[in-house]
Amino acid sequence: MSSIPDWFWSAVESPREEGTVEVEECAVHFLAWGERHRPGLLLVHGMNAHAHWWDFIAPQLADRYRIAALDLTGMGDSDYRYEYDADTWADELVAVADATGLSHDTVIVGHSFGGRIGLHAAVRHADRFAGLVMADSGIRDPDDDSDGERPGVGGRPVLYPDAETARNRFRLQPPQDCANSYLLEYIARHSVMAVDDGFAFKFDTDLMDSMSGVSGAEAAADLQALTLPLGLIYGADSRLFSGRTLDYMRRLHGRDFPALPLADAQHHLFLDQPLAFVETLASMLDGLC
């Protein structure tokens, strides 16, 4: 096991707020850090993840920003829906921003699938946000024939007899190694819920078969329509983000934007290099808006 550094304990033990807001008859769970008069950051997790993925990132920026992180419906501690769509998820971002007192200069920071939803929100609600940072969140060239790995979900929920067994089965999707095992263990502890017959992970296994508005073509249209400032941070060793992806996104957007590789990082870049990610994100935010 890797040693647990002091900065991690300082971050996860920092004071934070917690609550829910209703969007289209579903409760959306959120966490918040920092004082309300500061510029805003809204953090959006990836597929099948949750707000607690940001517990050790957000406090490191809370001396400069008012920060909120949400659980998109169908994931984490938010309610499940019969159907999911990009418009509703984007509306959830606005509802959480309003409920947590984020100002209209708020920048959305979205990892992976969260970057896709953040992109749609930045287009759909351009008057509510001030910018977007996508973290290892790309739009693949439709002519790219390379084998890109995607999360495998769906089917009946797997039930475990106890929470410890479930936590021990936690795996990153797409699969990758991670030297910072203490981060994986922390996230795993927040990824398990009690159900009637045992314990399961906190996501709707029907989500992938019941969502719309998130196709590659729809993402491309959003990137073309985006008017807010855009930044991108990607793992230099990511299997989901390539130079071809970046070139395609630049062509789609039609305007220059900063795109910074994070050395020695894969798709889950702020698990691989948490301190470097914070430093890179802070620097990008300084010049973005």
Domain boundaries, the chain: 12-157+206-288
177 C-beta neighbours (distance < 10 Å), count = 8
CATH architecture type of domain 12-157+206-288: 3-Layer(aba) Sandwich (3.40)
Assess whether pLDDT exceeds 80 at residue 162: yes
Q: Average pLDDT for residues 197-204, to the nearest whole number?
A: 93
Q: For residue 289, is pLDDT > 70? A: yes
Query: What is the token pair recorded at 241?
Result: 């983000």
For the chain, count helices (H), then strands (E). 9, 12
CB 139 within 8 A of CB 249: yes
pLDDT at residue 1 is higher than 60: no
Which pair of structure tokens corresponds to residue 41?
């950051």
List, for residues 51-90, the tens digit of each pLDDT value.
999 999 999 999 999 999 999 999 999 999 999 999 999 9
Strands of 116-272, DSSP E: 131-135, 192-195, 198-201, 211-212, 230-235, 259-262
The answer on pLDDT for 119 being more than 60 is yes
Q: Which is higher by pLDDT, 147 or 233?
A: 233
Burial string for 136-165 (b: 16+ CB within 10 Å, else e) reads: bbbbbbeeeeeeeeebebeeeeeebeeeee
Cβ atoms of 28 and 99 closer than 8 Å: no
**pTM for this prediction:** 0.95
Q: What pLDDT score was predicted for residue 145? A: 62
Q: Kindly state the average pLDDT of the residues 243-269.
A: 97
Q: What is the pLDDT of residue 135?
A: 98
| % of residues, the chain, pLDDT over 70 | 95
DSSP 52: G
Q: What is the pLDDT of residues 9-46, one digit of tens each?
A: 999 999 999 999 999 999 999 999 999 999 999 999 99
Instruction: Locate 278 and state its tokens.
Output: 């914070």
Token digits of residue 50: 């949750």
